Amino acid sequence: MLSATLQSAINQQIKAEIDSAYLYLAMSAFCESQNLPGMATWLRIQWQEELQHAMKLFRYVNERGGRVILEAVDKPAAEFTSPSTLFTMVLDHEKKVTGLINKLYDLAMKENDHATQIELQWFVKEQVEEEKNASDVLHMLNVAGESGVSLIMVDRQLAQRAAK
């Protein structure tokens, strides 16, 4: 069974994952409004992944005999100045989530909860991938630029994420 402290911390992480999903959905909506359907698609896939992360933690709490208590989600930003600014925010956000996962893992270690440590190892590894994906997009935008044909090419490349 989960300790009350660890259960509360995992519940907070569930909220953070849902907040992340909501942020990425708002970013997707913005990209759609800017006629960047590839970026919108990439961000919607990210939205779905974040919800899957939340549900993975949701199921884990229940499997350990705990109780999930959901909190209100934060209202995300709706306007962004440019694609590179938006993806800089994505990378910064993923780094923040990495920090939250690391703190949660540290708590599981402190409480000597081996099962939770094992469960969280998946999230630690996942955050490496999340940061790399965001960094790769930002790199593409920085190299290609944010206007004309170059932006259209990056947008089309990001649309390919759905095909993977």
Fold of 4-163: Ferritin (1.20.1260)
Helices (H) and strands (E) in the chain, counts: 5, 0
CA 42 to chain centre: 12
C-alpha 45/C-alpha 110 separation (Å) is 34
Q: What is the pTM of this model?
A: 0.94
C-alpha 137/C-alpha 34 separation (Å) is 17
Spell out the domain ranges in the chain.
4-163
User: Tell me, what amino acid is at 5?
Assistant: T
Question: What are 91-146's pLDDT values in tens digits?
Answer: 999 999 999 999 999 999 999 999 999 999 999 999 999 999 999 999 999 998 88
Residue of 57, 29, 24, 25 whose CA lies nearest to 126? 57
Residue 162 has pLDDT above 70, yes or no: no
